[in-house]
Amino acid sequence: MLNSSICVLAFPLALTKRSSRVILPLSMQHKRHSHTIWYPDAKFERKFKNVAMVGKLPFPKSTEFGKEIGLDKFEKLMLEQPVSSDNYEGKIREKVLENMIVNFGPQHPAAHGVLRLVLKLEGEVVIKAVPHIGLLHRATEKLIEHKTYTQALPYFDRLDYVSMMCNEQAFSLAVEKLLNVEPPPRAKFIRTLVAEFTRIQNHLMGITT
């Protein structure tokens, strides 16, 4: 009986010792370092609440489009007109910021293959744009290589969104000639009708825009 009571008492004691070995390091660990992602707390943000910031400083290294977009003039302008805090209080702190240069088009849906822009952004505001105008390569032929004739048909709508049916008709005629297929007269009449609609649409687009 005595041995059984000792065993009963010893089991919770052993469990407590074992659990304390696991819980103790976690309880002693600082809250900020208990996770891989660190979030700034109120104490950290309070130090930088009234801190101002000198305007955008030069790039750490020159870029390919530096001269083309007038980077030297932009750097001089931003250095002469520094940005300060809203209440103009606090210590002026210099911070190096980089403006983003992004490529817009020709694969972008809004560019539809006829325009490419190299944009320089300050936040969400475009401060400089270098246009490349003309029909540009969008890898349409490479995409069609892995498609069937029917699956490739929608790609021709994207080449010119005003003359989409004419583009489809040209592709269909080429495929029919390769396969030696003669379309029925009804299909020819429908194609002619739709092609005329597309021609009218092109005229309206050219006159009204």
What is the per-residue pLDDT for 23?
45
pLDDT of residue 65: 63
Residue 103 lies in a domain: yes
Q: With contact defined as beta carbons under 8 Å apart, do 168 and 151 qualify?
A: no
Mean pLDDT for 35-57 is 54
In a domain? residue 35: no
pLDDT at 195: 92
Residue 92 located in a structural domain: yes
Q: Does residue 184 sit in the same domain as residue 153? A: yes
Instruction: Let me know whether 144 and 199 are in one domain.
Output: yes
Residue 2 has a pLDDT of 44
98-146 tens-digit pLDDT: 678 888 877 776 666 677 888 888 878 888 888 887 766 677 888 898 8
Residue 71 lies in a domain: yes
Of the residues 136, 164, 198, which one is the last residue of a structural domain?
Answer: 136
pLDDT at residue number 59: 45
**Claim to verify: residue 151 and residue 122 sit in the same structural domain:** no
61 domain-assigned: yes
Domains in the chain, number:
3
Highest-scoring range by mean pLDDT, 6-10, 46-50, 52-56, 114-118: 114-118
188, part of any domain: yes
Q: Residue 22's pLDDT is what?
A: 45
Tell me, yes or no, whether 13 lies in a domain.
no
Count CB atoms within 10 A of the CB of residue 21: 9
Looking at the structure, do residues 171 and 201 belong to the same domain, yes or no?
yes
**Among 15-29, 56-70, 84-98, 177-191, whose mean pLDDT is lowest?**
15-29
Q: What local confidence, expressed as pLDDT, does residue 19 receive?
A: 43
Q: Give the span between the Cα atoms of 42 and 25, in whole angstroms.
A: 26
Structural domain boundaries enclosing 61: 41-98
Give yes or no for a contact between 100 and 118, defined as CB atoms under 8 angstroms apart: no
pLDDT tops 80 at residue 161: no
Instruction: Note whether 88 and 104 are same-domain residues.
Output: no
Contact assessment for residue 198 and residue 162, using Cβ atoms and an 8 Å cutoff: yes
Same domain, 149 and 132: no
Average of per-residue pLDDT values in the chain: 70
Given a cut of 60, whether residue 69 has pLDDT beyond it is: yes
On whether residue 17 sits in a domain, the answer given is: no
- Is residue 106 domain-shared with residue 158, that is, in the same domain? no
